[in-house]
Amino acid sequence: MLEIRNLVCRYGKVTALKGISLTVPEKQLVVLVGANGAGKSTTLRAISGLVPAASGGIFFCGQEITGMSASRILSLGIAHCPEGRRVFPHMTVLENLEMGCYLRSDGKEISSDLDRIFSLFPRLAERRKQVAGTLSGGEQQMLAIGRAMMSRPKLIMFDEPSLGLAPNIVEQTFAIIQSIRESGTTVLMVEQNAYAALDMCNYAYLLEAGSMVLEGPGEKLINDPHVREAYLGAGLAHA
């Protein structure tokens, strides 16, 4: 469904991605793990059209999307749930969700989608008139996920969904992401919480300093000695 071929991205003189390739098959959950600054977020930002590609190509459903505007890519069906949740703090829960379907104009479908999000996240329904900045971290994460779902994406990308959340909320967030995949939406997730991410995915990639160094099914990475030492804290992984 999504394919990246030899993608190179630069910020000024710094090369953030040194020719990476990655494939996300339909209805699967693919995870991108790696340390801070490895280029995980840049990869997602490049897919969304927020960072230009210096070379290489990005293809979605057989169509090249490299160089397209962010709004065009979103309307083709790729939603991006950014790192740190980034809800609009002074807008209400409802307005945030409405921003998620900014490009849509099918009013009736929108209201049924809103109902669906509210039944999925009853906490948001209770707080629909509340300003998003006053929600708890977990509620903001639910809102960010709901907002991304409002565009009716074929592929939804999550950037560090567990960041800064309490352990029980992290578990809940991963369960929701799992259920999104089960309902038929393809998922590409960037995650620091490597063990949990590798455990739940269909396929995983390890990014180090802008290059893909390892890929395979989740178990393969979990059992890889290098991954165990550098990312899982060997010995603690299965504790």
Partner 1 sequence: MDQLLQHLVNTLIMGGTYALLGIGLTLIFGIMKIVNFTHGELYAFGAYMMYFFAVILGMDFFLSIAFAIVAGMVLGAAIEFTLLRTKRGADIDTTMILMIGAWIVLQNAEQLTWGGIAKSVPSPLPTEPLVIGPISISYLRAMVLLIALMLIAGTYLVINRTKLGKAMRATFQDSGTAALMGVNISAIYTMTFALGSALAAAAGALLGPVFVIAPTMGDLASLKAFAIVILGGLGNITGAAIGGFILAFSEEIGAGYISSGYRDAMGFLIIIIVLLFKPTGLFARSERIG
Residues lying near partner 1 in the complex (CB under 8 A) are found at 48, 50, 69-71, 74-75, 80, 82, 86, 88-91, 95, 98-100, 102-103, 147, 151
With respect to partner 1, which residue has the nearer C-beta, 131 or 214?
Answer: 131
Instruction: Tell me the C-alpha distance between 146 and 140, whole Å.
Output: 10
With respect to partner 1, which residue has the nearer C-beta, 86 or 116?
Answer: 86
Which position has the token pair 């919480």?
193
Residue 104 Cβ vs partner 1, minimum distance, rounded to whole Å: 9
The pair phi, psi for residue 86, each rounded to 5°, is 50, 45
Q: Do 190 and 43 form a contact (C-beta atoms < 8 A)?
A: yes
3-state secondary structure of 198: helix
With respect to partner 1, which residue has the nearer C-beta, 101 or 212?
Answer: 101
With respect to partner 1, which residue has the nearer C-beta, 70 or 166?
Answer: 70
* Residues linked to residue 10 through DSSP beta bridges, in sequence order: 15
Residue 146 Cβ vs partner 1, minimum distance, rounded to whole Å: 13
Instruction: Tell me the C-alpha distance between 187 and 154, whole Å.
Output: 9
Residue 135 Cβ vs partner 1, minimum distance, rounded to whole Å: 14
Residue 100 Cβ vs partner 1, minimum distance, rounded to whole Å: 6
Residue 84 Cβ vs partner 1, minimum distance, rounded to whole Å: 10
With respect to partner 1, which residue has the nearer C-beta, 99 or 169?
Answer: 99
Q: What angle do CA 40, 91, 149 make, to 5 degrees?
A: 50
Residue 234 Cβ vs partner 1, minimum distance, rounded to whole Å: 37
Q: Do 164 and 137 form a contact (C-beta atoms < 8 A)?
A: yes
- 103, 124, 102, 104: which is closest to 115 by C-alpha? 124
- 145, 169, 170, 147: which is closest to 158 by C-alpha? 145
With respect to partner 1, which residue has the nearer C-beta, 50 or 237?
Answer: 50
Q: What angle do CA 34, 167, 114 make, to 5 degrees?
A: 90
